[in-house]
Amino acid sequence: MEDLKKEVLFEGVGTALVTPMNSDYSINYDKFEELIINQIKEGVQAIIVIGTTGESSTLSLDEKKQLIKRAVSASKGKVKIIVGTGSNNTESAIYLSKYAEEAGADGLLIVTPYYNKCNQDGLYEHYSKIADSVSIPILLYNVPSRTSVSINPETVIKLSKIKNIVGIKEASTDLVEVAKIIAGTDESFSVYSGNDNLTLPILALGGKGVISVTSNILPKEMVFLCNSYFNSNLTKARQTNEKLLDIMNDLFIDVNPIPIKEAMNTLGYNVGPVRLPLSKMSTEKYIKLNDTMQKYDLKLF
């Protein structure tokens, strides 16, 4: 571990990919591979599988293993494959993290332990033990609205000293905390927006990109937003951000990934339903989302 150099996993857009289902709620693995190939064609820099958007909490261990293998195979090394291996059980997270590494994943996205509500010392021990069990890069994932646990900036800064903990997906919406993390970590430690609508502000603070839900349907536009900023074309970045704000917001009109799957099915992607306990959103919300989608030049898959 001491010899491993910290690397930037990606700069730009990592798509938080949905897990497509058949009508009987089984996984549509062929469609999953098709989605990955399409994302690569559209120019994203990374694909995140079995994360929140991928309905990881309702997937069996065998399904997760199959999805990891399929993602690595379908990508053919053309894009970074980052696997959500987090758990509120440290040993379970270690097991799946080791499996993902052996299967050829490029990196891991590890959410804070949910439900247990551990303290900051527990968070540090949890992540450091997982990091010690694998050699591939790890991204922390801070999403307190889901887990009821938040990693304090001080804990993130401490964890950033571990060589294969290379960044964080920050979805707390607290830009002051994000600024503290960026100011307190080495330049090689990457901060990614975990909220599409905060992509531009986090880039402005020094972030490296976004792990995006919106890029499931608008990958080129999200890539253009990030690239415009990286190329110092702030006017184009701001204009693109303003153009995308409505769809970014309305894709969270209900619990993720309900709206993005509804949107993708409307557009002909045929990604199927969400698994219980998630369910279809109300007609009122669907109409609002559909009205917003009409504003964009969305093409059928």
Identify the active-site residue in 169, 192, 208, 286. 169
Q: Is 269 a catalytic residue?
A: no
* Contacts (Cβ under 8 Å, ≥6 apart) of 105: 68, 71, 72, 81, 82, 83, 136
Contacts of 170 (CB under 8 A, 6+ apart): 142, 177, 178, 181, 191, 192, 193, 194, 202, 207
CB atoms < 10 A from the CB of 70, how many? Answer: 18
Token pair recorded at residue 56: 């990881």
The answer to whether 278 and 55 are in contact (CB under 8 A) is: yes
Please indicate whether residue 169 is annotated as part of the active site: yes
Please give the structure tokens belonging to residue 45: 């820099």
Q: Using a CB cutoff of 8 Å and minimum separation of 24, what contacts does 67-71 make?
A: 67/19, 67/27, 67/29, 67/32, 68/99, 68/100, 68/103, 68/105, 69/103, 70/29, 70/32, 70/33, 71/32, 71/33, 71/36, 71/47, 71/105
The one catalytic residue among 141, 192, 269, 286: 141
Among 278, 216, 166, smallest CA distance to 18 is for: 216
- List Cβ neighbours of 141 (8 Å cut-off, separation of 6 or more): 51, 84, 86, 109, 110, 111, 112, 168, 169, 171, 194
For 253-268, the three-class secondary structure string (H helix, E strand, C coil) is: CCCCCHHHHHHHHHCC
- Whole-number Cα distances in Å, 79 to 38, 274, 297: 12, 26, 25
Pairing of strands 80-84, 107-111: parallel
Tell me the catalytic residues.
141, 169
